[in-house]
Amino acid sequence: MITKQLWQCPPGLIDQALKEFPIVETTVLNEPTGNFFYDKWKIKDFFKDTVWQQVLDTLPYTIGQARIIKIDPGESYMAHADIDNRWHLNLTGEQSYLIDLDNKFMHECVRDHHWAYMDASRLHAATNYGSIPRLQLVIRELLVSSSNTNMISITIAPAYTQSDFRYKFDNVLSPFLNRVNQTGKLANFNHNLSSSNFKLATDMLDEFKELITQDFQVTYD
């Protein structure tokens, strides 16, 4: 699920960044230049020409949203999958784990200065069993700009009032949407507080329909 990459962040750079700009809560380092999922993001003015920009520049890709995600000791977050894959750089932590729930495997999060690439289509969670905050720099991979022309427009919304719709969406639909994005069969993905919409290659429509339960209201155009 997560694979160490060749690219490294120099050992002293992380310490310098955390010293000059301490992270006390989950922090976004950059901002969109256009579409949230498809267009590159730029460094925020506050972090421009700082050591945090140097840290980001050690990853040689055009990047999406870059967040430093904090998990306090004894905390974890809910099971989910993501439509977009991620790059991870461990900043701090002890006895912290990224958990591959599909394969029931715990990846220990250690600061080895290497970037890691994560297949976020698998159901996963993260937890911190240690005594200090777990900080990870997590960067979204931009979605594929598909050139497929044989597609259908789809909108998904809750079929009724429900408090856990996002949980259901991420567990049921995000693994599929991640996979079809990687193969160029998804386009124009967008979401707001009440619905998500996208274009899907018509040859994937039957597989998509098999995933739909009574929790989802789906409109085809």
In this structure, the answer to whether residues 127 and 182 fall within a common structural domain is no
Q: Summarize the confidence of residues 83-102 as an average pLDDT.
A: 96
Q: Containing domain of residue 158, as a range?
A: 151-220
Task: Provide the CATH number for the domain around residue 164.
Answer: 3.30.70
Residue 11's pLDDT band (cuts 50, 70, 90) = confident
Same domain membership, residue 202 and residue 124: no
Q: Give the pLDDT confidence of 168-180 residue by residue, as tens digits.
A: 999 999 999 999 9
Give the type of residue at 21.
F
Q: How far is Cα 51 from Cα 10, in angstroms, rounded to an integer? A: 11
Same domain, 125 and 46: yes
Nearest in space to 173 (alpha carbons), one of 125, 148, 209: 209
Give tens-digit pLDDT for 29-58. Answer: 999 999 999 999 999 999 999 999 999 999
Q: Of 93, 108, 140, which residue is a domain's last?
A: 140
**Per-residue pLDDT reduced to its tens digit, 110-138:** 999 999 999 999 999 999 999 999 999 99
CB atoms within 10 A of CB 115: 22
Query: Based on the domain organization, do 109 and 174 belong to the same domain?
Result: no
Please state the domain count of the chain.
Answer: 2
How does the average pLDDT of the chain come out, rounded?
Answer: 96
Q: Are residues 183 and 121 in the same domain?
A: no
Q: Which amino acid is at 129?
A: Y
Residue length, the chain?
Answer: 221
Note the maximum CA span of the chain.
Answer: 53
Q: 140, 172, 200: which is the final residue of a domain?
A: 140
Query: In the prediction, which pLDDT does 194 show?
Result: 86
Residue 59 clears pLDDT 90, i.e. is over it: yes
Backbone angles phi, psi at 131, to 5 degrees: -110, 0
Q: Which pLDDT score, from 0 to 100, does residue 192 have?
A: 86
Q: Is residue 99 part of a domain?
A: yes
Regarding whether 213 and 104 lie in a shared domain, the answer is no
In this structure, is residue 146 part of a structural domain? Answer: no
- pLDDT, residue 184, reads 96
pTM passes above 0.85: yes
**Whether the predicted pLDDT of 24 surpasses 90:** yes
Residues pairing with 31 in the sheet:
42
pLDDT at 86: 97
Strand partners, 71: 134
pLDDT of residue 92: 96
Give the pLDDT band of residue 219 (cuts 50, 70, 90). very high
What's the token pair of residue 177?
């949407």
Is 91 within 8 Å of 135 (Cβ atoms)?
yes
End-to-end CA distance of the chain: 35
Tell me whether residue 196 is in a domain.
yes
| Environment class of 178 (CB within 10 Å of its CB; exposed 0-12, middle 13-18, buried 19+) | buried
Q: What pLDDT does residue 215 have?
A: 96
Question: Is it the case that residue 193 has pLDDT exceeding 90?
Answer: no
Distance CA(85)–CA(118), nearest Å, equals: 6
Last residue of some domain: 95, 111, 140?
140
**Is 145 within the bounds of a domain?**
no
Residue 61's CATH number: 2.60.120.10
